[in-house]
Structure 1
């Protein structure tokens, strides 16, 4: 029987964490949860510890001392999942922008349809974003177009952070050589999976912006993604890139 785990990085998600965990564990697929908390001062980790007592053996947590970036949180989670023998490893946000029910569709794309990576895509069937201001929708949509143009990746939502990886993908990618920590991390992981010729499936989802808590987006994170794409493309010309 395959083993599945979803990795959720958190920083000040006390308003969302109980709900997101409860919804994931209500799904019919057998899935564990790994919270990677970056020292949230609002009590997020304490709430997770409470829920660990309620759902014994289904919820795990790694506590880090300070906020250290989305990419490093996922790398920490990936290494944990590989060491524990999980076959399918998911990424998702804690704020309900990713619908927990869509985890099933991502899982089916990998488990039943034979894809190596499944991406929850906002743009594969148009623009499926709710509650974002038009300026951010336009920025995100054309950012993905920009990434596709520069890298050549046949992916419509390159910055998507809702994904399922089969184990062999994360085993193949050298996680210690991932360079980016913000949203460019999402691009880099897809780019390396694509360069290794893994089969990637975009699964259409509806992305709904958070209604509770505060967004972690910043101009620094956006700039890393914008300029990082060019760097990724240049570095891909070297044999040891991946």
Structure 2
């Protein structure tokens, strides 16, 4: 395929631009400790994952859904015997993550600033609207993006609409993120470039096989390599 001139770069937020999953993992560790009388760590984590998948369907992605899932897990694992103070601590864990300062990943700000002068940058993220808006503001990156899309789910239609609304369509656009399932594969399906930037703590729900057969699929080790990648594509 002979690509259209690349004009629009879309970025995921959590674990692509700033840390996110590590705070969830810390909460999971404490949850396992709080519920150690009812289940071992592996059993609890497996149960939490299944409850999380179930709750995402009805409540969407985000910290509030994760908090619901921790509470549901505590009640189910303990057969309703979990003490009220433990539930109180689980609620506190959720609030701590909601209020945690944003920590940018290395080189993110410089990379975005170097690209902003030559391309239209947009942010496409999913999760709780209030929490995501707060993190975007805290990050100090908002002014670099010409548009921000906070969506309940990322699908091929999500990218088709976003690239039509904020760019010249999918063929002139690139989506960059740490989730093959949410960021890369749906974007490839509508004809855009899909760039995978692995994060060591990506949630198991987001795992998928790399689409190595796709001519517009690329993988880089860190976000700072985006500039060189685009230069190589456009040569």
Compute the TM-score of the two structures, normalised by the length of structure 2: 0.35
Of Structure 1 and Structure 2, the greater strand share is in 1
Higher-RCO chain (CA-CA 8 Å, sequence separation at least 6)? 2
